[in-house]
Structure 1
Amino acid sequence: MTVFKVVVEILLFLLPLALGARYGPFGLIGASAVSVFIMVEVLRLQPGTAPIAAIFIILSVISATAAMTAAGGMDWLVRMAAKALRRHPKQIPIIGPLLVWLFTVMSGTGNITFALIPILYEVSYSAKIRPERVLATANAVCQLALMASPVAAVSYVFIQMTESQGNSLGKTLAVTVPASLIATVLMSLVMTRYGKNLEDDPEYQRRLAAGEVEPPPELADDVEAEPLPPRAAWSAYIFVGGVIVGCILGFFEKLRPTYSVAVIDDSGSLDAPVAHMVERHVSMSTMIPITMFAVVGLIMIICKVKTPKVIGQPIVGTGLIAALLLLATPVMAGTILNAHMESIKSFVGSAIGVSVLLFAVILFVLAALIQSQVASLTILIPASVIAGLGVGPMTGMLGAASGNNLLASMGGLGQACIMTDKTGSTKQGSILINGSFTVPMLLGVVFSIAVGMVVQMFVF
């Protein structure tokens, strides 16, 4: 009976993942809820707990990004990036991914890459550089850079779960920033040799001869565009200011307010338990939503942005899906973890005992299956902490979470790259993982883990 029950639980975990791959995120969310209902009501398992703090972080950062976008700040930032790229078109295989990295780190979301894709394609094609080399790399970088963002949900979820182990925002960024940045540069250098040059690409030559694509145009120094809202730049400044404030509060704990909390001492004496008042700093999982929602308020007041315009931004839908995923997948996984914590602890401990790097393998596979960095960490980190894996190695291997980009060609960003590239160099692949995006994604994972594991030895 026990074996049968375990098989049923495994199926209840895997089926939502399969349905999610077929029907998308909402299919995964709904199917996860069905599985949890069966586990709790039929199998009588203790339900898992939703990571409420992580959900608040996601909603606050997405709200701030949406407000900045509605005020024109995102367009202003993209135009600044376009000017930089057009000044140095031959260096776009390196500069392009670096700008994607910088914008993702500042905004806390990879969705900003959608706005950069047309520019990356235009500049690379005008310079007669195979667009795939730039677009596929950018697609990988925007996921890898999230680990280095002080306002990304994945960063604070990781910090929240490892804070009791002595981790902090400063320590995490001290590892993830150099790891992801160096990985971006190395990945970009390797990708400059990836694929055939356009003049040697038969598919591009066929399209060129058939008139399906125009010859590479001359790159204009300045492109006329619609005027931005009068306070577009202000919204960008306010947003970046909020990010800086968040970083300062994370780096310097003493700047955060303190509050008194009662701690019960029942150490085994025969006397009644005694409550001691202890001063504690407000956690970053609380300060970040406060800071980013304040950014929303300032942008809406100073830049005169109305609520319907903010809600109408596409990134709001993306943030809603991300938040709902954290109400579904981690709860489903947590329900199983509650029933088999000892066995899972033993498995993770045995795997780590064989090789610490197996943490990265497990994280990569989980992220690829669930297609969510936050949900994957929420599942794996507690079991790894219980198994005794140190915070330093876990931080060094966070780049493995970009395995959520394994099926990049199925995602909206991957499809945007494929459809934008009129040369045909950026491909989906016959079996989804043999297209343009897998190689740079794997390079980014390997390079970031290699650098991260070295850097963490000096930080932790």
Structure 2
Amino acid sequence: MAVFEVVVQILLFLLPLVVGAKYGPMALIGASGLSVFIMVEVMRLVPGQPPISAIFIVLAVISATAAMTAAGGMAWLVQKAESALRKHPGRIPLVGPLLVWLFAIMSGTGNITFALVPVLYEVSYGAKIRPERVLATANAVSQLALMASPVAAVTYVFINLTETDGNTLGKTLAVTVPASLIATVLASLVMSRYGKELDDDPEYQRRLAAGEIAPPAPTSASGEPVELRPRAAWSVYFFLAGVVIGCVLGLFQRLRPTYPKLLPDGTYADVAVSMSFMIPIVMFAVTGAIMIFCRLKTAAVISEPIIGTGLIAALLLLAVPVLAGTILNAHMEAVTSFVGSAIGVTVMLFALLLFLLASLIQSQVASLTILVPAAAAAGLGAGPMTGMLGAASGNNLLASMGGLGQACIMTDKTGSTKQGSILINGSFLVPMLLCSGFAIAIGLGLQLLVY
């Protein structure tokens, strides 16, 4: 009977993942709720708890990003990036992904890459460079860079989960920033030679001969001027100010307020306000400052597409970790024993599990929320886990089915950027594996110096 119940619980966990892979994240959320209902109401398991701090962080960061976008800040950033790319079109296989890395770190979201895709394609094609090399790498980097962003929700969720092990923002960024940057450069260099040259690509030559695409023409030093909203640049300045304040508060704990906390032995101790609270408050303050100074109405902010993305992310954190937590509550001892013995053999198991979980759930935050507590309970330290955060970019395994992947495929008129016959074997698989592999290898080395 016990074996039967375990099998049913495993099926109830896997079923939402299968449904989500076929019908999308909202289906995953709904199916997770159904599974939790069955496990709690019928099987009488103790329900898992939603990670409220993580949801708080996600909503705050998304609100600030949406306000900056509505104020024209994203358009201002893209305009600056376009100007830089057009000045040196031949270097776009390296410069393009590096700009994506920088913008994703500054904004805390990979969605900014949507605005850069047309520019990356136009400049690369104008320089007679296979667009797939740039677009596919940029797609992978947009997710990898989030591990190194001081305002990305995934960064602070991870710190919140590992702060009891002495982890801090400074230590995390000291590993993830150089690891992701070097991984971006190495992956870009490898991808700069990936695939056939356009002159040797039969599909491109067919489209060119059929008149489906015009021959490449050199790009001008500057694109068409884009009219920006008044004070668009200021929205970026406010956002970056929030980033700086968050970094300073994370690096220097003494700057955060303290309050007396009752300890189990009946005594009180002064405890600093956690970064999982300070970061959302700072980013909500940034949202307010942008809306007031740039004279934005609520309708303008909530109409931004990134609000929908943030809502999906928050709902995933309400559903999937509760589903996993409900099962873990019933089997924590067995799971901890397994993970502990396996991690004792190889810490790389954490990277493999994180990669697979992220690819199934399609959420970096939810994957870390599920896996980190189990790995920590099994004895894996914050240092090795930080070094392997690049594995969370496994959420990009089905990139060809995602919005950004489809944008790259449809924008590339040469046909070089492909979806693949089995979803994962398209243009995005190789750069994603390169970015993740390089980041893990470099991160594990760096964490030995930092932790």
Name the TM-score class by shorter chain: over 0.9
Map of 2:118 onto structure 1: 118
Residue segments in structure 2 that go unaligned for 5+ positions in a row: none
C-alpha distance in 1 between matches for 2:370 and 2:211:
51
Distance of 1:325 and 1:8 partners within structure 2: 22
Once the two structures are superposed, the pairs formed by residues 283-298 of structure 1 within 5 Å of their partners are 283-298=274-289
Provide the residue aligned with 1:272 in structure 2. none
| Counterpart selection for 1:437 from 428, 432, 438 | 428
User: What code does the residue aligned with 1:230 have?
Assistant: P
The equivalent position to 1:308 in structure 2, one of 286, 290, 299, is: 299
Question: Is the Cα contact below 8 Å between 2:79 and 2:226 reproduced in 1?
Answer: no
Q: Compute the displacement of 1:226 (Å).
A: 3.5
The offset of 1:417, in angstroms, is 0.3
Match of 2:67 in 1: 67
Q: CA deviation at 1:347?
A: 1.2
- Runs of 4+ in structure 1 deviating by more than 3 angstroms, as ranges, are none
- Report the equivalent of 2:312: 321
Find the counterpart in structure 1 of residue 187 from structure 2: 187
Could you give the per-residue CA deviations for residues 175-220 of structure 1, whole angstroms, max 9, x where no partner exists? 0001100000000000001000001101000000001111112211
Q: Residue in 2 aligned with 1:260?
A: 260
Q: Deviations over 1:44-79 (max 9, x none)?
A: 000001000000100000000000000001100000
Deviations 1:309-331 (A, max 9, x none): 00000000000000000000000
Distance 2:381 2:142 in 1: 27
Shift of 1:276: 1.1
Identity of aligned residues (%): 74
Q: 2:393 aligns with which of 402, 408, 427?
A: 402
- Give distance in 2, aligned partners of 1:427 and 1:150: 33
CA distance in 1, matches of 2:223, 2:180: 32
Equivalent residues in 2 for 1:411-422 (5 A)? 411-422=402-413
Partner of 1:259: helix, strand, or coil?
strand
Q: How many residues align?
A: 451
- State whether structure 2 residue 29 is matched by structure 1 residue 32: no
Cα distance in 2, alignment partners of residues 342 and 222 from structure 1: 61
Name stretches of at least 5 consecutive residues in structure 1 with no aligned partner.
266-274
Which residue identity lines up with residue 306 of structure 1 in the other structure? K
Tell me, in whole angstroms, the C-alpha distance in 2 between the residues paired with 1:211 and 1:51.
54
In structure 2, what residue type is equivalent to 1:107? S
Aligned match of 1:268 = none
Q: 2:87, 2:222 within 8 Å by CA — same for their partners in 1?
A: no
Q: Distance in 2 between matches of 1:222 and 1:105?
A: 25
Partner of 1:341: 332
- What residue number does 1:458 align with? 449
1:392 alignment counterpart:
383
Q: Conserved in 1, the CA contact under 8 Å of 2:82 and 2:222?
A: no
Secondary structure of 2:260's counterpart equals strand
User: Quick one: distance in 2 between partners of 1:233 and 1:176?
Assistant: 28
Equivalent residue number for residue 270 of structure 1: none
Once residues 104 and 414 of structure 2 are traced to their aligned partners in structure 1, the CA distance between those partners, rounded to angstroms, is: 27
SS at 1:415 equivalent = helix
Equivalent residue of 1:264, what SS? coil
1:31-430 → structure 2 map (5 Å cutoff): 31-265=31-265, 275-430=266-421
Q: Is the 8 A contact 2:360 2:395 kept in 1?
A: yes
Which amino acid in 2 is paired with 1:139? N
Q: Distance in 2 between matches of 1:206 and 1:76?
A: 38
